[in-house]
Amino acid sequence: LQIRNGIERAEIAEEIKEAVKSAHSNAGGGAYAVRSSATAEDLPHASFAGQQDTYLNIKGIEAILKHISKCWASLFTERAVIYRIQNGFDHRKVQLSVVIQQMVFSEASGILFTADPITSNRKVTSIDASFALGEALVSGTVSADNYKVREGAIVQKTISDKKTAVYSLESGGTEAREVEAGCRKKQTLSDEQIIQLEKLGRRIEAHFGFPQDIEWCLADGEFFFVQSRPVTTLFPLPKQSDGKLRVYMSVGHQQMMTEPINPLGISFFGLISDYELTIAGGRLFIDLTHDLASAIGRKIVLGTMGKNDPLMYSAISKF
């Protein structure tokens, strides 16, 4: 708290003030989102999503400068400090900048994952959607609708009871309001909008070349994307030469070795194995696709697996 208070009371450097004032003047004023962006965010093993603060619907140059200081200070919120300790980051080596974006007064907003965060299925897009601004969703104060889309078709819809929504105030800032009872279970996005959003999400994924966690909003019938970051929770895929769907079995799990294998162990297994082994995430995998494609091979694989690994047998036997 003392660190945050000290940062908020400190005078912003004059050159920064002038740069912000010039950009604000050139943009013609209006309302803005003042967002934090730290150097330790969006890493492969730690996303830091939501650890620092963001402020919406900020109006006027003095208010923007004040909230820049508040964003800087949020590098030392209790949750951000604890997160860094848990993930082994040095507090003195993490830096934070501030992104200022023109405000979008959305009628709906949410988060889009181009790979299902629950199943890790990269073929399924998962969309969370709620009314008005996205602040209620990211803060956890509202249960959002969830839509699952696979190859342009909606495969699952969960319509939630959306009791609250966050709206912009005319004077600046935001407030949470109760949603009218008759609208709470209304589908946030139409089916056509869901399909359109999924296609746009896939285009963003193609641009970055990696599954994306995307923040979006809808205003006047048009989608806006305010942030896109890599999905950091997905297990890495083995390298594939043909791009087709394949079935892999973990070598380590067959030996009751669930942790990553060190390089010497990987080399040793490669020498003694009759199979061509694939490496992913520090683990070794056998490609069972060819064996499972034939009646005899499938019988042998499942017969062996049923004796020594019932869980893997249960999963593979469904294919």
What is the residue type of 183? C
Could you tell me the pLDDT band of residue 237, with boundaries at 50, 70 and 90? confident
pLDDT value at position 271? 84
Q: What is the pLDDT of residue 186?
A: 95
C-alpha dihedral sign at 208, 209, 212, 217:
positive
180-198 CB burial, b ≥16 within 10 A, e <16: eeeebeeebbeeebbbebb
181-210 tens-digit pLDDT: 999 999 999 999 999 999 999 999 999 999
- Report the pLDDT value the prediction gives residue 36, as an integer from 0 to 100: 86
> Residue ranges per domain, the chain?
2-102, 108-230, 248-316
Name residues whose C-beta falls within 8 Å of residue 301's C-beta, 6 or more positions apart in sequence: 288, 291, 292, 316
In one letter, which amino acid is 153? A
Q: What CA–CA distance (Å, rounded) separates 69 from 167? A: 24
Dump pLDDT digits (tens) for 253-264. 777 777 888 888
* Cα distances (angstroms) measured from residue 45 to each of 10, 232, 243, 285: 33, 6, 26, 21
| pLDDT score of 306 more than 90 | no
pLDDT at 241: 63
pLDDT higher than 90, residue 267 = no
Between these two residues, 275 and 289, which has the higher pLDDT value? 289
Q: Which fold has domain 108-230?
A: D-amino Acid Aminotransferase; Chain A, domain 1 (3.30.470)
Taking only the tens place, the pLDDT of each residue in 25-73 is 999 889 999 998 876 554 544 445 556 788 999 999 999 999 999 999 9
Pair 292, 319: CB distance under 8 Å: yes
Q: Which CATH number fits domain 2-102: 3.20.20.70, 3.40.630.20, 3.30.1490.20, 2.40.128.630?
A: 3.30.1490.20
Query: 19: which residues sit within 8 A by CB, 6+ positions away?
Result: none
| SS3 per-residue string spanning 216-264 | EEEECCEEEEEEEEECCCCCCCCCCCCCCCCCEEEHHHHCCCCCCCCHH
Burial of 307 (0-12, 13-18, 19+ CB in 10 A): exposed
Q: How confident is the model at residue 128 (pLDDT cuts 50, 70, 90)?
A: very high
pLDDT reported for residue 50: 57
